[in-house]
Amino acid sequence: MKVAVFSAKKYDRDGFSQWADRSLQFSYHEIRLNKDSVKLAAGCHAVCVFVNDELDAEVLQQLSELGIEMIALRCAGFNNVDLDAAKVLGIRVSRVPAYSPEAVAEHAIGMMLCLNRKLHKAYNRVRDDNFALDGLLGFNLFGKTVGLIGTGRIGLATARILRGFGCQLLCHDIAQNPLIAELGGRYVPLAELYAQSDIISLHCPLTPDTKHIINHYSIGSMKDGVMLINTSRGALIDSKAVIAGLKNRKIGYLGLDVYEQEADLFFENLSEQVIDDEVFKRLLTFPNVLITGHQAFFTKEALQEICQVTSDNLLAFASSTATGNELVN
Protein backbone atom coordinates (compact mmCIF):
# COMPACT_ATOMS: atom_id res chain seq x y z
CA MET A 1 0.00 0.00 0.00
CA LYS A 2 1.35 3.42 -0.98
CA VAL A 3 1.19 6.13 1.69
CA ALA A 4 1.87 9.85 1.22
CA VAL A 5 3.35 11.31 4.41
CA PHE A 6 2.79 15.06 4.78
CA SER A 7 4.56 17.49 7.16
CA ALA A 8 7.37 14.94 7.14
CA LYS A 9 10.63 15.65 8.95
CA LYS A 10 13.83 13.64 9.15
CA TYR A 11 12.72 12.02 12.41
CA ASP A 12 9.51 10.85 10.69
CA ARG A 13 11.52 9.27 7.88
CA ASP A 14 13.84 7.60 10.36
CA GLY A 15 10.95 6.35 12.45
CA PHE A 16 8.92 4.91 9.61
CA SER A 17 11.93 3.38 7.86
CA GLN A 18 11.81 0.28 10.06
CA TRP A 19 8.16 -0.27 9.11
CA ALA A 20 8.53 0.28 5.39
CA ASP A 21 8.35 -2.99 3.46
CA ARG A 22 6.43 -4.43 0.56
CA SER A 23 3.18 -3.82 2.45
CA LEU A 24 3.82 -0.13 3.18
CA GLN A 25 5.56 2.16 0.72
CA PHE A 26 6.02 5.66 2.10
CA SER A 27 6.57 8.81 0.05
CA TYR A 28 7.55 11.85 2.10
CA HIS A 29 6.56 15.48 1.63
CA GLU A 30 7.80 18.23 3.96
CA ILE A 31 4.94 20.48 2.89
CA ARG A 32 1.70 20.55 4.87
CA LEU A 33 -1.38 18.94 3.38
CA ASN A 34 -3.88 21.53 2.17
CA LYS A 35 -5.93 22.27 -0.92
CA ASP A 36 -2.80 23.37 -2.81
CA SER A 37 -0.62 20.37 -1.97
CA VAL A 38 -3.27 17.64 -2.04
CA LYS A 39 -2.26 16.62 -5.57
CA LEU A 40 0.95 15.14 -4.12
CA ALA A 41 -1.19 12.27 -2.80
CA ALA A 42 -1.96 11.09 -6.35
CA GLY A 43 -1.22 7.42 -6.86
CA CYS A 44 -1.43 6.59 -3.16
CA HIS A 45 -4.01 4.64 -1.19
CA ALA A 46 -3.60 6.57 2.08
CA VAL A 47 -2.19 9.75 3.56
CA CYS A 48 -0.36 10.11 6.86
CA VAL A 49 -0.79 13.53 8.47
CA PHE A 50 0.11 15.54 11.57
CA VAL A 51 -1.40 18.26 13.74
CA ASN A 52 -1.24 21.21 11.32
CA ASP A 53 -2.29 19.46 8.14
CA GLU A 54 -5.65 20.68 6.81
CA LEU A 55 -8.34 18.08 6.21
CA ASP A 56 -11.49 20.10 5.77
CA ALA A 57 -14.37 19.05 3.51
CA GLU A 58 -12.74 20.56 0.41
CA VAL A 59 -9.43 18.74 0.91
CA LEU A 60 -11.20 15.48 1.76
CA GLN A 61 -13.25 15.72 -1.43
CA GLN A 62 -10.06 16.13 -3.45
CA LEU A 63 -8.43 13.22 -1.63
CA SER A 64 -11.43 11.05 -2.41
CA GLU A 65 -11.24 11.97 -6.08
CA LEU A 66 -7.57 10.93 -6.04
CA GLY A 67 -8.55 7.52 -4.70
CA ILE A 68 -7.44 8.04 -1.09
CA GLU A 69 -9.30 5.65 1.18
CA MET A 70 -7.45 6.09 4.47
CA ILE A 71 -6.20 8.97 6.62
CA ALA A 72 -3.67 7.96 9.27
CA LEU A 73 -3.18 10.66 11.89
CA ARG A 74 0.15 10.34 13.65
CA CYS A 75 -1.18 12.24 16.66
CA ALA A 76 -3.98 11.96 19.19
CA GLY A 77 -5.91 15.13 18.34
CA PHE A 78 -8.23 15.23 15.35
CA ASN A 79 -9.65 18.76 15.41
CA ASN A 80 -8.12 19.39 11.96
CA VAL A 81 -10.22 16.67 10.31
CA ASP A 82 -13.84 17.04 9.16
CA LEU A 83 -14.97 13.64 10.39
CA ASP A 84 -18.50 14.05 9.06
CA ALA A 85 -17.21 14.71 5.55
CA ALA A 86 -14.83 11.76 5.81
CA LYS A 87 -17.70 9.48 6.78
CA VAL A 88 -19.84 10.63 3.85
CA LEU A 89 -16.94 10.06 1.47
CA GLY A 90 -16.18 6.64 2.92
CA ILE A 91 -12.64 7.58 3.99
CA ARG A 92 -11.36 5.71 7.03
CA VAL A 93 -9.65 7.83 9.70
CA SER A 94 -7.41 6.52 12.46
CA ARG A 95 -5.23 8.14 15.10
CA VAL A 96 -2.63 7.38 17.79
CA PRO A 97 -4.67 7.82 20.96
CA ALA A 98 -1.80 7.53 23.46
CA TYR A 99 1.80 7.78 22.29
CA SER A 100 3.47 8.52 25.65
CA PRO A 101 1.35 10.72 27.87
CA GLU A 102 4.33 11.00 30.20
CA ALA A 103 6.31 12.86 27.51
CA VAL A 104 3.79 15.70 27.38
CA ALA A 105 3.18 15.66 31.13
CA GLU A 106 6.90 15.92 31.89
CA HIS A 107 7.25 18.83 29.46
CA ALA A 108 4.38 20.65 31.17
CA ILE A 109 6.05 20.16 34.56
CA GLY A 110 9.36 21.30 33.07
CA MET A 111 7.73 24.53 31.91
CA MET A 112 6.29 25.09 35.38
CA LEU A 113 9.71 24.64 37.01
CA CYS A 114 11.52 26.73 34.40
CA LEU A 115 9.10 29.65 34.66
CA ASN A 116 8.93 29.50 38.46
CA ARG A 117 12.68 29.22 39.14
CA LYS A 118 13.58 31.25 36.03
CA LEU A 119 16.03 28.60 34.88
CA HIS A 120 16.22 30.02 31.36
CA LYS A 121 17.29 33.40 32.73
CA ALA A 122 19.75 31.88 35.21
CA TYR A 123 21.38 29.86 32.42
CA ASN A 124 22.00 32.97 30.32
CA ARG A 125 23.27 34.96 33.31
CA VAL A 126 25.86 32.40 34.31
CA ARG A 127 27.13 32.19 30.74
CA ASP A 128 27.81 35.94 31.06
CA ASP A 129 29.57 35.39 34.43
CA ASN A 130 26.65 37.02 36.23
CA PHE A 131 25.93 35.11 39.43
CA ALA A 132 23.57 37.63 41.05
CA LEU A 133 20.29 36.21 42.34
CA ASP A 134 18.26 39.41 42.02
CA GLY A 135 15.18 38.80 39.90
CA LEU A 136 15.36 35.01 40.18
CA LEU A 137 13.09 34.57 43.20
CA GLY A 138 10.68 31.66 42.80
CA PHE A 139 8.20 29.79 44.99
CA ASN A 140 7.81 26.28 46.37
CA LEU A 141 5.56 24.00 44.37
CA PHE A 142 4.89 22.08 47.56
CA GLY A 143 1.45 22.94 48.88
CA LYS A 144 0.36 24.93 45.85
CA THR A 145 -3.02 24.32 44.22
CA VAL A 146 -2.86 23.20 40.60
CA GLY A 147 -5.92 23.15 38.36
CA LEU A 148 -5.95 20.54 35.61
CA ILE A 149 -8.45 21.06 32.80
CA GLY A 150 -8.68 17.64 31.20
CA THR A 151 -7.86 14.41 33.01
CA GLY A 152 -7.35 11.89 30.23
CA ARG A 153 -4.08 10.02 29.87
CA ILE A 154 -1.91 13.16 29.78
CA GLY A 155 -3.83 14.97 32.50
CA LEU A 156 -3.58 11.89 34.73
CA ALA A 157 0.16 11.57 34.10
CA THR A 158 0.56 15.25 35.03
CA ALA A 159 -1.50 14.73 38.19
CA ARG A 160 0.76 11.86 39.27
CA ILE A 161 3.87 14.02 38.97
CA LEU A 162 2.30 16.99 40.73
CA ARG A 163 1.12 14.78 43.57
CA GLY A 164 4.77 13.83 44.08
CA PHE A 165 5.58 17.52 44.51
CA GLY A 166 2.95 17.75 47.24
CA CYS A 167 0.51 19.88 45.24
CA GLN A 168 -3.22 20.08 45.83
CA LEU A 169 -5.14 19.02 42.73
CA LEU A 170 -8.34 20.54 41.39
CA CYS A 171 -9.67 18.99 38.19
CA HIS A 172 -12.33 19.58 35.58
CA ASP A 173 -13.45 17.22 32.82
CA ILE A 174 -16.74 16.13 31.27
CA ALA A 175 -15.71 12.54 32.05
CA GLN A 176 -14.37 12.07 35.56
CA ASN A 177 -11.41 9.72 35.99
CA PRO A 178 -11.69 7.62 39.19
CA LEU A 179 -7.89 7.47 39.44
CA ILE A 180 -7.84 11.21 40.21
CA ALA A 181 -9.49 10.60 43.58
CA GLU A 182 -6.81 8.03 44.42
CA LEU A 183 -4.24 10.81 43.92
CA GLY A 184 -6.12 13.07 46.31
CA GLY A 185 -7.54 15.26 43.58
CA ARG A 186 -11.13 16.38 43.31
CA TYR A 187 -13.37 17.54 40.50
CA VAL A 188 -14.79 21.05 40.73
CA PRO A 189 -16.66 23.45 38.43
CA LEU A 190 -14.46 25.59 36.22
CA ALA A 191 -15.33 28.71 38.19
CA GLU A 192 -13.92 27.17 41.37
CA LEU A 193 -10.84 25.87 39.57
CA TYR A 194 -10.11 29.33 38.16
CA ALA A 195 -10.61 31.07 41.49
CA GLN A 196 -8.50 28.72 43.65
CA SER A 197 -5.64 27.54 41.43
CA ASP A 198 -2.13 28.94 41.69
CA ILE A 199 -1.24 27.08 38.49
CA ILE A 200 -3.59 26.04 35.67
CA SER A 201 -2.52 23.44 33.11
CA LEU A 202 -4.54 22.55 30.01
CA HIS A 203 -4.85 18.92 28.90
CA CYS A 204 -8.18 18.82 27.08
CA PRO A 205 -8.87 18.32 23.37
CA LEU A 206 -9.87 21.18 21.10
CA THR A 207 -13.60 21.05 20.40
CA PRO A 208 -16.22 23.74 19.72
CA ASP A 209 -16.92 23.75 23.47
CA THR A 210 -13.29 24.16 24.53
CA LYS A 211 -12.13 26.68 21.92
CA HIS A 212 -10.95 29.79 23.78
CA ILE A 213 -11.79 28.22 27.13
CA ILE A 214 -9.15 30.63 28.38
CA ASN A 215 -10.59 34.03 27.52
CA HIS A 216 -11.07 37.51 28.99
CA TYR A 217 -13.80 36.29 31.32
CA SER A 218 -12.02 33.20 32.62
CA ILE A 219 -8.74 35.07 33.10
CA GLY A 220 -10.59 37.70 35.12
CA SER A 221 -11.79 34.92 37.44
CA MET A 222 -8.28 33.67 38.19
CA LYS A 223 -5.93 34.51 41.05
CA ASP A 224 -3.63 37.45 40.56
CA GLY A 225 -0.27 36.19 39.33
CA VAL A 226 -1.60 32.81 38.17
CA MET A 227 0.66 30.51 36.17
CA LEU A 228 -0.93 29.24 32.95
CA ILE A 229 0.47 26.27 31.00
CA ASN A 230 -0.76 24.93 27.65
CA THR A 231 0.73 21.79 26.08
CA SER A 232 -2.52 20.70 24.40
CA ARG A 233 -3.91 22.76 21.50
CA GLY A 234 -3.24 26.41 20.77
CA ALA A 235 -6.83 27.48 20.19
CA LEU A 236 -7.79 26.59 23.76
CA ILE A 237 -6.39 30.03 24.55
CA ASP A 238 -7.51 33.39 23.21
CA SER A 239 -4.05 34.87 22.61
CA LYS A 240 -5.19 38.49 22.71
CA ALA A 241 -6.96 37.90 26.02
CA VAL A 242 -3.78 36.35 27.43
CA ILE A 243 -1.74 39.35 26.32
CA ALA A 244 -4.18 41.61 28.16
CA GLY A 245 -3.86 39.37 31.22
CA LEU A 246 -0.08 39.63 31.10
CA LYS A 247 -0.20 43.40 30.75
CA ASN A 248 -2.48 43.88 33.75
CA ARG A 249 -0.44 41.39 35.82
CA LYS A 250 -3.36 38.98 36.28
CA ILE A 251 -1.21 36.30 34.59
CA GLY A 252 2.14 36.06 36.34
CA TYR A 253 3.63 33.26 34.24
CA LEU A 254 2.73 31.82 30.84
CA GLY A 255 4.10 28.62 29.33
CA LEU A 256 3.05 27.67 25.79
CA ASP A 257 4.11 24.66 23.76
CA VAL A 258 1.28 25.32 21.30
CA TYR A 259 -0.08 28.46 19.69
CA GLU A 260 -3.36 29.23 17.97
CA GLN A 261 -1.70 30.28 14.69
CA GLU A 262 1.25 27.91 14.90
CA ALA A 263 0.72 26.25 11.52
CA ASP A 264 2.85 28.85 9.70
CA LEU A 265 5.51 28.96 12.42
CA PHE A 266 6.24 25.75 14.27
CA PHE A 267 8.36 22.84 13.02
CA GLU A 268 10.34 25.17 10.72
CA ASN A 269 13.58 27.15 10.99
CA LEU A 270 12.50 30.75 10.45
CA SER A 271 15.59 32.36 11.99
CA GLU A 272 16.48 34.10 8.73
CA GLN A 273 12.96 35.34 8.03
CA VAL A 274 10.71 38.12 9.28
CA ILE A 275 7.76 36.77 11.24
CA ASP A 276 4.61 38.74 10.42
CA ASP A 277 2.49 37.38 13.28
CA GLU A 278 2.24 40.44 15.54
CA VAL A 279 0.40 38.58 18.31
CA PHE A 280 3.12 35.94 18.54
CA LYS A 281 5.86 38.58 18.46
CA ARG A 282 4.10 40.47 21.26
CA LEU A 283 4.02 37.34 23.41
CA LEU A 284 7.77 36.97 23.01
CA THR A 285 8.36 40.43 24.49
CA PHE A 286 7.17 39.47 27.97
CA PRO A 287 9.89 38.37 30.40
CA ASN A 288 7.51 35.95 32.14
CA VAL A 289 6.53 34.01 28.99
CA LEU A 290 8.17 30.76 27.92
CA ILE A 291 7.34 29.35 24.46
CA THR A 292 8.51 26.07 22.95
CA GLY A 293 7.68 24.96 19.41
CA HIS A 294 5.24 22.08 19.94
CA GLN A 295 7.96 19.79 21.28
CA ALA A 296 6.20 18.32 24.33
CA PHE A 297 5.59 15.04 22.47
CA PHE A 298 9.17 14.89 21.17
CA THR A 299 10.86 11.99 22.95
CA LYS A 300 12.41 8.82 21.54
CA GLU A 301 9.78 6.71 23.24
CA ALA A 302 6.89 8.78 21.91
CA LEU A 303 8.22 8.83 18.34
CA GLN A 304 8.67 5.07 18.37
CA GLU A 305 5.12 4.59 19.61
CA ILE A 306 3.72 7.01 17.02
CA CYS A 307 5.43 5.24 14.13
CA GLN A 308 4.49 1.78 15.36
CA VAL A 309 0.82 2.51 16.02
CA THR A 310 0.42 4.53 12.81
CA SER A 311 1.96 1.70 10.81
CA ASP A 312 -0.27 -0.83 12.59
CA ASN A 313 -3.30 1.30 11.71
CA LEU A 314 -2.28 1.36 8.05
CA LEU A 315 -1.62 -2.37 7.94
CA ALA A 316 -4.98 -3.02 9.60
CA PHE A 317 -6.69 -1.03 6.90
CA ALA A 318 -4.83 -2.96 4.21
CA SER A 319 -6.04 -6.23 5.73
CA SER A 320 -9.60 -4.96 6.35
CA THR A 321 -9.28 -5.31 10.13
CA ALA A 322 -9.84 -2.86 12.98
CA THR A 323 -7.46 -1.70 15.73
CA GLY A 324 -9.79 0.32 17.93
CA ASN A 325 -7.99 3.51 16.90
CA GLU A 326 -10.50 4.37 14.17
CA LEU A 327 -12.42 7.65 14.28
CA VAL A 328 -14.23 6.78 11.05
CA ASN A 329 -14.44 3.13 10.03
Q: 68 and 80: one domain?
A: yes
Verify whether residue 65 is a known catalytic residue: no
User: How many separate helices (H) and strands (E) can be counted in the chain?
Assistant: 12, 13
Query: Is residue 13 annotated as part of the catalytic site, yes or no?
Result: no
Instruction: Please tell me which residue in 233, 260, 278, 282 is annotated as part of the active site.
Output: 233
Same structural domain, 153 and 277: yes
- Shared-domain flag, residues 80 and 127: no
pLDDT digits (tens, 9 = 90+) for 254-268: 999 999 999 989 999
Q: Tell me: the pLDDT tens digits for 284-324?
A: 999 999 999 999 999 999 999 999 999 999 999 999 999 99
The stretch 7-34 carries a mean pLDDT of 89
Residues 142 and 183 in one domain: yes
Question: Are 224 and 185 found together in one domain?
Answer: yes
Parallel/antiparallel/unpaired status of strands 326-328 and 92-94? antiparallel
Active-site pick, 32, 153, 294, 305: 294
CA distances from 76 to 99, 105, 218, 311, 320 (A): 8, 14, 26, 15, 22
Closest CA relative to residue 256, chosen from 223, 222, 224, 279: 279
With CA atoms as reference, report the closest residue to 180 among 149, 204, 156, 152.
156
Q: Is 268 a catalytic residue?
A: no
- With the C-alpha atoms ordered 101, 102, 105, 110, is the resulting torsion angle positive or negative? negative
247 residue type, one letter? K
Verify that 141 and 258 share a domain, yes or no.
Answer: yes
* Domains: count for the chain: 2
Question: Do both 178 and 44 map to the same domain?
Answer: no
For residue 244, pLDDT beyond 80: yes
Whether 20 and 159 share a structural domain: no
Count CA atoms closer than 13 A to 153's CA, side-chain side: 11
Q: Whole domain around residue 105: which residue ranges?
A: 101-291
Q: What is the pLDDT of residues 67-117, one digit of tens each?
A: 999 999 999 889 999 999 999 999 999 999 988 899 999 999 999 999 999
Give the Cα separation of 230 and 211 in Å (integer).
13
Cβ-in-10-Å burial (0-12, 13-18, 19+) of 263 comes to: middle
Q: What distance in Å separates the CA atoms of residue 196 and residue 193, rounded to the nearest whole number?
A: 5
Residues 253 and 155 both lie in one domain: yes
Do 121 and 95 share a domain, yes or no? no
CATH number at residue 257: 3.40.50.720
pTM of the model: 0.92
142: left (phi over 0), alpha (psi -120 to 50) or beta: beta
Please indicate, yes or no, whether residues 253 and 120 belong to a single structural domain of this protein.
yes
Torsion of CA 112, 115, 121, 127, to 10 degrees: 0
One domain, residues 273 and 307: no
